[in-house]
Amino acid sequence: MILTLTLNPAVDHTARVDEALTPDAIHRADDAQFDPGGKGINVSEYLLELGTETVATGPVGGFTGEFLRSNLAELGVPTDFVDVDGRTRLNTTVLADGEEYKLNHRGPTLSEDAVDDLLDTMTEWAPDVVVVAGSLPPGVSPSDVDHLAAAGDWETFVDVDGETMQALDASYAGCKPNRQELAAATGRAVDDLEGCLAAARDLQSRGFERVVASLGGDGAVMVTPTATYYAPALDVDVVDTVSAGDSLFAGVLSALVAGESDRVALETGVAVAARAVSVPGTVVPTLGGIERDVERVSVSEY
């Protein structure tokens, strides 16, 4: 079973207005959308669609925390959140006159007791794999992530920002940077495939058994203890790239826990991401027949 830990979950609020934003004016939105947010939560949603046993946890509080609980319950996503003081953050995106404006809250400050409660929850579930994903809230440091990773009999994968990834000291089963995070974690140029491969190998040597780097429209790289793989993205009509990296990560993890090879895991991740970018927003697409898409993915070894 895969437990996902989102240390700073959010409610994503998207509003659309039909005019340019101007100071001191009142702008009215015709519609608004509220969705559960957070990398770990996204991964659990895709794992569920792939038929992989999962549970999502993290700290939640206030009315936004209650929204997360109820919304994910409606979606059928198993959760075991930890109550904390303060409110789960609200991240607002305003789409206006062809522009996109974002305002993200920092999130509530977590105490040492809250981190301990999260560890207790993880221990109770006794997962095979733990995924720590997303930004770190106030009060949580990379050393806390190291502690959570090493505290139980589980393999830990991380999907955190590059600076946090660089600061981690524990040994990890793997990490999932995007291109920008790969550059930040290694200080290397990642403008071309060779640069991405070199940076991923560098990161792998620092204590990550596997590095799965999502490269957007250029596909993905996977470095393992024995091989380096590259897979270009499938040729599909791209509607929205939201959650593309999370869907790829979920596909890789689902295949690995099912006992598939690293090559097949990368193929599966790229195939799932192709489905994800073919639908708008954070909607998880139907993944029935994904095996046919997996067969279309071409993987090269470097």
- The half-sphere exposure of 51 on its side-chain side, counting CA atoms within 13 A, is 7
- Alpha-carbon dihedral of residues 116, 117, 122, 126, nearest 10 degrees? 90
144 C-beta neighbours (distance < 10 Å), count:
18
Q: What is the 3-state secondary structure (H, E, C) of the chain?
A: CEEEEECCCEEEEEEEECCCCCCCCCCCCCEEEEEEECHHHHHHHHHHHCCCCEEEECEECHHHHHHHHHHHHHHCCCECCEECCCCCEEEEEEEECCEEEEEECCCCCCCHHHHHHHHHHHHHHCCCEEEEECCCCCCCCHHHHHHHHHCCCCEEEEECCHHHHHHCCCCEEEECCEHHHHHHHHCCCCCCHHHHHHHHHHHHCCCEEEEEEECHHHCEEEECCCCEEEECCCCCCCCCCCCHHHHHHHHHHHHHHCCCCHHHHHHHHHHHHHHHCCCCCCCCCCCCCHHHHHHHCCCEEC
Write out the catalytic residue numbers: 246
> How far is Cα 70 from Cα 68, in angstroms, rounded to an integer?
6
> How far is Cα 16 from Cα 93, in angstroms, rounded to an integer?
9
